[in-house]
Amino acid sequence: MEKLINKEISDQLKTIFKDLPEPVQILFFNSKTQNCDYCEQTYQLLSEIVELSDQMALESYDIEADAEVAKRYKVERVPGIVIASRKDNIVLDSGVKFSGIPAGHEFSSLISAITLVSNGNSGLSEETRQWLSTLDQPVHLQVFVTTTCPYCPNAVTLAHRMALENKNIQAEMVEASEFYDLSNEYGVSGVPHTVINYGKGEVVGAVPEGMLIEEMKRALSMN
């Protein structure tokens, strides 16, 4: 089978991953019953990535057969990816997720997510961290993207940083063309488009962290 990651990119990734401080567990979800055009490709991509570092491991699940695992990690779509941390063989959900293949520009979002979870440092401003430390309500961030969008990885990584800072936040990249019905439900016409708490708030474009926080506050005030 032809590799998806060429030698040049593979060598670059080895350099990026050689100093990963903490182990990362990648959970992949597919389906034998749903039509999943990119499941096989996504699994191959993840398999090639975990080969590049001893600090990474990959587990594969069926979203129907392993419904309890999918529920535990709040995975609802395939292909689904969870980037989790692993401490003393215990897998800890970081709230960092992907729905759809992280190809094209979103490949960089996947690499960023792995390094982010391994480092355990969100890199957010002190002001943002302080507010997030007080957040005690669930927040679901869905960042709709396309693989050809150069601005989308910034929006995805910002959402993932938020999730890393507070366990009440789930941040999910959603490939808009793979999940057209969901994109249509939320009126996604341009990307990146971040939907907060299933439509209670939204941000269009790659915005600064302060702007996303303000919209999160507004969405939470509608509860």
pLDDT in tens, the chain (223 residues): 799 999 999 999 999 999 999 999 999 999 999 999 999 999 999 999 999 999 999 999 999 999 999 999 999 999 999 999 999 889 999 999 999 999 999 999 999 999 999 999 999 999 999 999 999 999 999 999 999 999 999 999 999 999 999 999 999 999 999 999 999 999 999 999 999 999 999 999 999 999 999 999 999 998 7
Other Cβ atoms closer than 10 A to 7: 8
User: How far apart (Å, rounded) are the C-alpha atoms in residues 67 and 14?
Assistant: 34
With 0.85 as the threshold, say if the pTM is over it. Answer: yes
Count Cα atoms within 13 angstroms, Cβ side, for 115. Answer: 15
